[in-house]
Amino acid sequence: MAPSGLKAVVGDKILNGVIKSVKKDGEWKVLIVDHMSMRILSSCCKMSDILAEGVTIVEDISKRREPISSLEAIYLITPEEKSVDALIKDFKDSAFTYKAAHVFFTDTCPNELFAKIGRSRVAKAVKTLKEINVAFLPYESQVFSLDDPSSFESFYSPKKRDERDKAIASVAEQIATLCDTLNECPAVRYYKESEENLKLADEIRRRLDAHKADNLKMGEGPDKARSQLLIVNRGFDPISPVLHELTFQAMAYDLLDIKQDIYSYQTTGIGNSKEREVLLDEDDELWVQLRHMHIADVTKKVTELLRTFCESKKMSTDNANIKDLSQMLKKMPQYQKELSMYSTHLHLAEACMNKFKATLNNVCEVEQDLAMGANAVGEPLKDAMKSIVPVLLSEIDAYDKIRIILLYIFHKKKGIPEENLTKLIQHANIRDDSKIITNIQNLGCNIIVGGQNAGKMLPERKERADSTYQLSRWTPIIKDIMENAIDDKLDRKQWPFISEPATITTTQTAVSARFGHWHKNRSPTEHRSGPRLIIFMIGGVSHSEMRSAYEVTRATDGKWEVLIGSTHILTPTSFLNDLKKLE
Amino acid sequence: MRDRLQHLHRVKTDSEGFSTVELNSLSELEPADPDQDLDGVLNEAQQIRLEIQQIQNDISELQDVNYQTINRTSFPSVTKRDSNTIGADIKRRGEAVLQQLHLMNDLRGELEARRGPSDPAVRIARTQYHCLSNALREVMFSYNDTEMSHREACKRHIKRQMEVVGREISEEELEEMMEGEELCVFSVHMEGKTIHSALMQLQSRQQELLELETRIQSIQELFLDVAVLVEEQGAAVENIEQSVQKAEVIVHDGTTQLENASTSDKNNPLKRMFCGCFPCYHS
């Protein structure tokens, strides 16, 4: 199944707009990338895809490269000094490193660098020079990332205050290219509680205007006037990135060591290979189906699907479990792809459950009570301290203890007295990591009573009756915001517009029951005619919040598409690590 | 997307007096040193690619033949090739491509030993080998799917024909029939042209199913070999970031070795004792 949404749009832009556009039959090309462009390319294209369009090798521009003078090179790079200098260097000597250069910049090339290219020999070897306006990573069909974890410090660390304006400009440009790529010119709103949100929103508005001058399609279409872009800071909901989630993707990334979206595990296949590495992305149809499901449902679902699959292929299924899969593979190797998929997800689910059963059963219950302020039957939490002390004294990781303490403090709404915090840190024996708790004040969160952020409150939450699992009662606050924005019920005082939007009519246009629904099942692409809600979170987005974007989209029955993104994708561990470095 | 080539032409300074036209024609001349290894790798890859395309063509032809045998009301007239011949060709080509891929991998190993693992020709060979292995697997899957769809179509046809004959057939009986058991049709009245034609159809469908099973059985080993081929390479090679980073690591090792070499060269006693005029200095 081809990826849909953002990945499809960007993949299409790169494959067709860049690689295919310079393809010549019978001639192979070299593709040169820098770090950012490699990440963008890797997130939406596979080696086979680009090979099919005439690229035979991908090289990193910052590394020493052997000349391949018989082939032309495509440079897909960010317009920054390091990359431009490397490009110039490739064509400096009399023997060019490659036969010719086709240069594609991810976004606008500044004048000085452009002039530098013009002055050098490479200008004579350049056959193509374009700016593609894709400076973001399409992480999933409805999730984007700017792939810059270091910006967390730029925005929130007091020692990096002077980097802040530069960070804002860079982020604003990247978001503008997102809107440009999607042909959106949304109304920009921001969460009033934090100054950064206003500054960023303002800068984005400026950049959008600049892009619109070149791309007239931005914002065109009757529904596009309703599109909105919301800027919000991480401190707005500090609970979601810290809570233990029990949905498949969130749980796997929290509990297991998954780097660069690759899951490794031991298994027996057909041959001798023992270690398998699997990429968890949208090319894996089963992953797309399972990733937002509760873990209790996942194993059930995979086993059921495997059983159905085996029956349809007439394979004996007495014990259709992980151990017998290698036998099945030997009997029916033509189903290697499907069988491997089932094996991977059974392993992954089992790994999550093993980690959970080892330490987390009690922890999750306490966390949910703290986050919700009430227990599973709805009785308000009376003595929170009593429930957390046994957990803090137990044999769990330091980071798990910190998460409990943070949730306790957020539960207290006004913060806790400093001596209580010291006592808690002592009890839990986490002196080395205690900085994390005080550092979170840099996000605007209330930690110490009467301290730095006194008076700041977390937003009110909606009452929801739809949770079926006791340990999954919490809903990320951003979901409330998404729903309100779509219903045009989002408070204008808390979420002001940067500039007055075109009049938003909420009256439903007459919808025919018989006609006009043929497009509903088409995968969303840039040509999507309905309005979009784009959320940008400064400082990282968690998996549960990503999940909310899909849930809210589905609830609108395809009328709206909700996209969410941030400077980077968080896991609870990476969030705590980021916080540690702030001061 | 913004095209800025014209802008570049306006901005560029003609420092060496070559016009773009002249330089284009210069670059069209023979490149400095044609890399024969690289050309060899790319040619080999192209050959394999063409063969895989040929298998795909065979599969399309098979789909046509399958379709025609079911949907013709009369007996199939002379087609260019029948399904067994095509199936045999697919098997033969698949096995040949597999062999070529093994050879390509051996070639890559030999190049790697000679030129080092970070050499572009070696890396190109590795990428081509990997992508072609995947392509072969995809095309074999496609063949399997084609045969499986045909099997389902035959089953449906048999069911319909049985209804014409006036006899319902259950799933188990259908399975038995596919395994070659003779079906007890003769208990019904067998008068009339319709019944006669239906019986002929039934017999040829049964024949086809048996032949199909034989084809799939005979190609089982090829499926297994291709599966092993792909499994051994792992999924990570498809990921562009992984391919680029693997190359990085190797290059880094290479530069470390170079640095070590230059340090040890500095300590070369000949260099330290004598001035630069001795011939052995510049070895």
CB < 8 Å to A334, chain B? 140-141, 144, 223, 227
Task: Give mean pLDDT, residues A539-556.
Answer: 96
Closest-CA distance of chain B to residue A225, Å: 23
Instruction: Name which of B12, B240, B251 is nearest A118 (Cβ-Cβ).
Output: B12
Give the gap in angstroms from C-alpha A306 to the nearest C-alpha of chain B: 18
Min CA distance, B271 vs chain A (Å)?
A: 28
pLDDT at A20: 94
Looking at residue B67, its pLDDT comes to 86
Contact between B196 and B190 (Cβ < 8 Å)? yes
Helix (H, G, I), strand (E, B) or coil at A195: helix
Residue with tokens 């992508």: B131
Tell me the HSE value of B132 on the side-chain side, using a 13 A CA sphere: 29
Q: Which residue of B has its CA nearest to A180?
A: B1
Check whether A364 has a pLDDT greater than 90. Answer: yes
Among A50, A100, A131, select the one facing B27 at the smallest CB separation.
A100
Contact (CB<8Å) B35/A124: no
Task: Count Cβ–Cβ pairs < 8 Å, chain A vs chain B.
Answer: 167
Question: Which residues of chain A does B11 touch, with a Cβ-Cβ cutoff of 8 Å?
Answer: 114-115, 117-118, 123
Q: Is A333 on the interface with B (CB under 8 A)?
A: yes
Encoded tokens for A45: 């294209």
Inter-chain contact A115–B32, Cβ cutoff 8 Å?
A: no
- Give bridge partners of residue A497 from the DSSP assignment: A189
CA distance to partner chain A, nearest, from residue B190 (Å): 34
A132: contact with B, CB 8 A cutoff? yes
Average pLDDT, chain A: 88
Residue B23 or A333, more confident: A333
Q: How far is A347 from chain B (nearest CA, A)?
A: 16
Picking from B8, B20, B127, the nearest residue to A51 by CB comes out as: B127
Average pLDDT over residues A224-228: 90
Q: Which two tokens stand for residue B226?
A: 């291709």
With 0-12 / 13-18 / 19 or more C-beta atoms within 10 angstroms meaning exposed / middle / buried, residue B167 is middle
pTM given for the model: 0.85
Q: What is the mean pLDDT of residues A33-47?
A: 94
Nearest to A132 among B1, B232, B248 (CB): B1
Q: Which of A563, A578, A557 is CA-nearest to residue A138?
A: A563
Residues of A in contact with B238 (CB under 8 A): 46-48, 279
* pLDDT higher than 80, residue A465: no
Give contacts of A50 with chain B, Cβ < 8 Å.
Answer: 240
Q: Is the dihedral of CA A128, A134, A135, A137 positive or negative?
A: negative
Q: Is A399 on the interface with B (CB under 8 A)?
A: no
What pLDDT, on a 0 to 100 scale, did the predictor assign at position A153? 93
CB contact under 8 A, A131 and B1: yes
The C-alpha of B249 sits at a distance from chain A's nearest C-alpha, in angstroms, of: 10
Q: Which residue of B has its CA nearest to A213?
A: B2
Of B20, B127, B230, which has the smallest distance from its Cβ to A124's Cβ?
B20
b vs e for A435-470, b when ≥16 Cβ sit within 10 Å of the residue's Cβ? ebbbbbbbbbbbbbeeeebeeeebeebeeeeeeeee
Which is more confident, A509 or B103?
Answer: B103
Closest-CA distance, A186 to chain B, in angstroms, reads 19
B242 vs chain A: nearest CA distance in angstroms?
Answer: 9
Question: Is the Cβ pair B231, A279 closer than 8 Å?
Answer: no
Q: How far is B73 from chain A (nearest CA, A)?
A: 30
pLDDT at A272 over 70: no
Return the bridge partners of A102, or none.
A74, A128
A374: pLDDT strictly greater than 60? yes
Taking an 8 Å cut-off on Cβ atoms, the answer to whether B131 and A41 are in contact is no
* Cross-chain CB nearest to B238 (options A46, A56, A130): A46
Contact A114 B11 (CB under 8 A): yes
> Which pLDDT does position A140 carry in this prediction?
95
Which of A65-69, A505-509, B95-99 reaches the highest mean pLDDT?
B95-99
Q: Do A70 and B239 touch (CB under 8 A)?
A: no
Q: Which residues of B touch A58 (CB under 8 A)?
A: 240, 243-244
Residue A427 confidence (pLDDT): 85
Helix, strand or coil, per DSSP, at residue A574 = helix
Closest residue on chain B to A48 (Cα): B131
List of chain B residues whose C-beta atoms are within 8 Å of the C-beta of residue A115: 11
Q: What is the pLDDT along chain B (283 residues), one digit of tens a residue?
A: 889 998 888 887 655 544 555 455 444 444 456 688 898 999 999 999 999 999 999 999 999 888 888 877 445 555 567 888 999 999 999 999 999 999 999 999 999 999 888 888 888 998 899 999 999 999 999 999 999 999 888 888 888 888 877 777 777 777 776 666 555 554 455 567 777 777 888 888 888 888 888 888 889 889 989 988 888 887 767 888 888 876 655 544 444 444 454 555 555 555 555 444 545 444 4
Q: How many CB atoms lie within 10 A of CB A248?
A: 27
Look at the block and give the residue holding tokens 């910052």.
A62
Q: Of B224, B225, B249, which to mutate for an interface test with A (greatest number of A Cβ within 10 Å)?
A: B224
Global ipTM: 0.78
Percent residues over pLDDT 70 in chain A: 92
Q: Distance (Å, rounded) from C-alpha B3 to C-alpha B26?
A: 25
**Residue A355 pLDDT level (bands cut at 50, 70, 90):** very high
Q: What residues of chain A lie within 8 A of the CB of B239, using their CB? A: 42, 46-47, 262, 279
Average pLDDT over every residue of A528-534: 87
Say yes or no for a CB contact (<8 Å) between B128 and A56.
Answer: yes
Report DSSP state, residue A288.
H
DSSP string, A106-148: SSPPPHHHHHHHHHSTHHHHEEEEEE----SEEEETTEEE---
Closest residue to A69, CB basis, from B7, B31, B241 = B31
Among the ranges given (A60-69, A405-414, A525-534), the one the predictor scored with the smallest mean pLDDT:
A525-534
Flag if A64 and B119 touch (Cβ within 8 Å): no
Q: Does the pLDDT at position A335 exceed 90?
A: no
Residue A72: closest CA among chain B residues belongs to which residue? Answer: B27
